Amino acid sequence: MKLSEPAILKLMHEKTNRPLKISELAKCLSIPDVQRAEFRNYVKSMTEEGSLIRIRGGRYGLPDEMNLVSGTLQGHPDGYGFLVCDQPGPDIYIGRKNMENAMHQDRVMVRVESSREKGRLNGRVIRILERKTVSLVGIYETFERQGWVIPSERKYFHDIFIPAKDRKGAKDGQIVCLEIVSYPTKHQPPVGRVVEVLGRADDPEAELQSVLRKHLVRQIFPESVMEETRDMTDLVGEDERARRKGLAGWTIFTIDGEKAKDFDDAVSIEKMAGGYRLGVHIADVGHYVEENSPIDREAYERGTSIYYPDGVVPMLPFELSNEICSLKPGVERLTLTVLMDFDESGELLKYDIFDSIIKSRYRFTYTGVARVLEHGEGDERYQAALPALKLMRDLSQTLRKRRFDKGSVDFRIPEPEIVLDAQGKVEKIVAAEHNIAHELIEEFMLSANQVVARHLSERDIPSIHRVHERPDEAKIMAFNDFVKSFGLKLAHLHNPGPKDLQNLLKKALGRPEERVVNTVLLRAMKKAVYSEKDPGHFCLAFEHYTHFTSPIRRYPDLVTHRTVKRFFKSKCTVRERQRLLPRIADFAEQSSRAELKAMEVEREINDLRRVQFMADKAGEVYSGTITGVTAFGFFVEMTEAFVEGLVHVSSLMDDYYIYLEAEHKLKGQHKHKTYQIGNPVKVRVTNVDVKKRQIDLTLVKN
């Protein structure tokens, strides 16, 4: 018989009714003698992973039959935690006394012991399956002449003891990187060794590095990658000229942010009889980054570029991302072109996808394009391109209206932009601009991504899809209950489509509660991910969707390029499908993980910069809006500063307040005063803790 973990688990569920020794299991499951050694290895491996459990007497059983579950521990600063189960199911609360020396991120086995209020499960760690943490970042402090590191990630609730010989000259208040030497036991704290001192906690660069190191962000490219990069050239060879379409004579240009250097998309347009011909030209990164090469393996691990206010950690070396692949003006570049014909109503008539060579004429900015389109202002470059820009504006607005008419959900939540001064300190935080030029590029990229996804789907070619599933019905019903207080409701409560949600947002447009309705609905949505499956994109209301237009900064886009090019001139056979699907599934899973990590890093760096900006503003008063409500207080976004802080419930002295989760509000038990998402308030900054990334506020009476 063919042994595998799923096969062994299936047999054990079918044929055993109690824990058994390995020899008894082998006999019960009819394992042939020649496979006993292999079976024994499987059982031991499965026990280490947590899919089997070993009890006294050397007997092995199924965890779920013994009320045991395995998963990853998520710690809390107060010393308790939650088990995120390997299998689908609710998280399990683990009290401080039941943690058994487990640390945040450890893989553990937990016994479910009882139910808590509100139906939550309560458990106890009975075994640590795998210690996941090998290094940490934190602040070095001396207590009673002993060295300790307080982890920057507060979910690690153990301070790390540092022996004198392993301090590497660290001084109080410095940020350090450490390696774990030994893990906590019943009688001993975790012990570590300092491997690098990053600098003082009030040094912005040291703080930035602490975030990047904490999340194990790969900042330095291996020498094998740099060696491969040095051998590359941006000169276009004759063989490429022979097989690609030359578009050097076309009016093609890029539109990006003021500080951008990695230009991976350019656009062109032509007015046709009864419509438009739109060209979206994407840097052919796959021509330079061969599959399974050192650069490709590094790009796979990174998954995406990470952007923050004063820099970027690129997915590809700058020699590629900012030079060889970047669609800079006046130089020939290898591209993959999606050419789309639309009628006047924005309906796609036909398309073509092909290898090309372009020479971008202009490097435009969003601000410059918006200025020339809205006010006619701009230098000779913008004036020369104005006829094309006007055509692009007309087509993009037609596509945008058509998309929303079909049900795309348009969330109107302003994004903050952190502006730094010449010294790298935060000068101000403002609402990021989103103008007609942003909308233009957004619609063209959406169109190209959608066309490529449809192209691959119609040919039954395995590929990475950008998937957004419909929200859980319970969350939508809770959202509907919440907006009833504003006189709003969904037209179709059960299984609403994206158009139902968009229609509700349109009704909230311009009303005082517009921001809160958008915010609460966004929180009810599932997160978009990458997948080898193709259920469509709920929020965009697209039947098929992928990411294709940013291969310089996103690995899934690079995979999509390779997939398209692999089947330019051939069909995908059944055998090729079977070979490709597992690889595509792996690429999708890794890309989703990398994206989530990048979002966490970017969010934490932005939070750090916000707190640094507010560090000298204790005592100042701001107008703001309640953006979130919890049992311990409510968060307020200060309008002028574009920064969020916490009003703790303990500072509300006029009543005892209870938390009404479904209504997103705190309500006084006696005076019945309420604090709800969307309420305008005035607050005073009382304390700013840069180390904890925490801003404390108190209410100011109007």
List where CATH 2.40.50.140 sits in the chain: 67-130, 615-699
5-63 under CATH 3.20.20.70, yes or no: no
Pairing of strands 92-94, 81-85: antiparallel
What pairs with residue 542 in β-bridges?
Answer: 537
Does residue 422 register a pLDDT over 90?
A: no
In 320-398, which ranges are E strands?
332-343, 348-359, 362-365
List where CATH 2.40.50.700 sits in the chain: 135-214
* Digit-coded pLDDT (tens) for 14-31: 777 777 777 777 777 878
Residue type, position 348, single letter: L
List where CATH 1.10.10.10 sits in the chain: 5-63
Q: What is the mean pLDDT of the chain?
A: 92
* Digit-coded pLDDT (tens) for 380-403: 999 999 999 999 999 999 999 999
Q: What is the pLDDT of residue 1?
A: 62
Q: What is the pLDDT of residue 115?
A: 66
Q: Write down the number of H helices and E strands in the chain.
A: 17, 33
Nearest Cα neighbor of 438 from 370, 338, 342 is: 370
Q: Are 467 and 530 in contact (CB under 8 A)?
A: yes
What pairs with residue 267 in β-bridges?
Answer: 253, 280
615-699 under CATH 3.30.300.30, yes or no: no
What integer is the mean pLDDT of 356-377? 96
Q: Phi and psi (nearest 5°) for 620? A: -80, 150
Does residue 268 register a pLDDT over 80?
A: yes
Nearest Cα neighbor of 551 from 225, 268, 333, 276 is: 333
Q: What is the CATH number of domain 135-214?
A: 2.40.50.700
pTM confidence score: 0.87
67-130 under CATH 3.90.226.10, yes or no: no
Angstrom CA distances, 36 to 13, 29, 46, 55, stand at 19, 11, 15, 21
DSSP string, 414-464: PPEEEEE-TTS-EEEEEEPP--HHHHHHHHHHHHHHHHHHHHHHHTT----
Q: What is the pLDDT of residue 702?
A: 59
* Digit-coded pLDDT (tens) for 204-257: 889 999 999 999 999 999 999 999 999 999 999 999 999 999 999 999 999 999
**Could you give the percent of the chain with pLDDT greater than 70?**
99
Angstrom CA distances, 200 to 171, 197, 214, 614, stand at 9, 9, 16, 19
